[in-house]
Structure 1
């Protein structure tokens, strides 16, 4: 009986130390993390792990970053069916005193490590693809406090509405009181002739019911705001406004009405070209 008990204890200890085979995955081969951005809008990347087992198992992946960078989670743990792939959003914060350079982000699971370089650089060095608003400072007339609707998210490069109320998209705090404004400083004089606005638009929250309907596009020229375009009756998830080129150091959207209940301004992204 004593030997049987010892064998059972050994089997249990071996089982407890068994680690399922999983592969760390990332949504990009590298992460660009600009310096000096609003802390409410850190750099983000999709991470995850894929089970390589033929049976269900609990798996854990550890997340590490080189200091002084910090990550929104230190691990990802989940129950994984065979062959299942789990994904999650990871936020990587860069403190204001961080030095420009390349840092490490490591995803570790089952003895495997996936290295994702994090390139920290000033906003002026970003490849903005012609979008002068990308990662520039944003100010808004108000911010809804019941969820995560930071104004800076309208210039983070993410047009998707999938992160609504979770850090991607701005919602004002003055229900049924208009106008609402959101402005993007362009980092100096820029010649601009187009603004693209992306409003809330998902299967659950379609733009025709929850999106922005009427707004003015204004450019700050010589210290004065001037209206360069107007949009009325919009029901789509995005709208493009083209206008005669002006040299402006800031652009703002003056929201006048929304669809449906005509209650709030909901903007996902503003691009200035």
Structure 2
């Protein structure tokens, strides 16, 4: 049997602040996520526009944004398949701007009054059922 010895010394302990972890957009097509929808009007309004990282919606009507094929008939849905388990700590929804012919990069304070999504539910699949994660509503 070999003897085991341990030594220790007292040294000051300094706790360093770790930088906050940065989030990454796991819903982007460029990282393998695939969008699907309940319907699409035409190839001019593809569902692939919801996760292409183009937040202004340009060019609207020629591939810049998704539009369902059931005008004023609800519900409509968009689904993002991440291709595996992902951790999601926030969801950001960008919608059509009032000035959609010359939109600007959206900010948290940008509002709309004519076009755009006014209510939605974010759901996640828990392995056996869809569960609601959060709700959003704007007026």
What is the TM-score of this pair, normalised by structure 1? 0.36
Secondary structure, in 3 states, of the residue corresponding to 2:85?
strand
2:38 to 141, 145, 148: 141
* Structure 1 pair 173–184 and aligned structure 2 pair: CA distance change class (3 A): same
1:207 is displaced (CA, Å) by 3.0
Distance of 1:225 and 1:204 partners within structure 2: 33
The one-character-per-residue Cα deviations of 1:79-114 (angstroms, maximum 9, x if unpaired) are: xxxxxxxxxxxxxxxxxxxxxxxxxxxxxxxxxxxx
Counterparts in 2 of 1:1-273, with a 5 A limit? Answer: 130-135=24-29, 136-145=33-42, 148-203=44-99, 207-232=112-137, 234-235=138-139
Partner in structure 2 of residue 249 of structure 1: none
Distance of 1:223 and 1:190 partners within structure 2: 16
Distance of 1:202 and 1:209 partners within structure 2: 6
Q: Which has the higher strand share?
A: 1
Distance of 1:134 and 1:204 partners within structure 2: 22
1:163 is displaced (CA, Å) by 1.2
Partner in structure 1 of residue 8 of structure 2: none
Q: 5+ unaligned residues in a row in structure 1: which ranges?
A: 1-128, 236-273
1:210 is displaced (CA, Å) by 0.8
Provide the alpha-carbon RMSD of the alignment. 1.8
1:199 is displaced (CA, Å) by 0.3
What is the TM-score of this pair, normalised by structure 2? 0.69
Q: Which has the higher helix share?
A: 1
Secondary structure, in 3 states, of the residue corresponding to 1:149?
coil
* Structure 1 pair 185–143 and aligned structure 2 pair: CA distance change class (3 A): same
Secondary structure, in 3 states, of the residue corresponding to 1:196?
coil
Distance of 2:97 and 2:57 partners within structure 1: 6
Q: 5+ unaligned residues in a row in structure 2: which ranges?
A: 1-22, 102-110
- Give the count of matched residue pairs: 105
1:191 is displaced (CA, Å) by 1.2
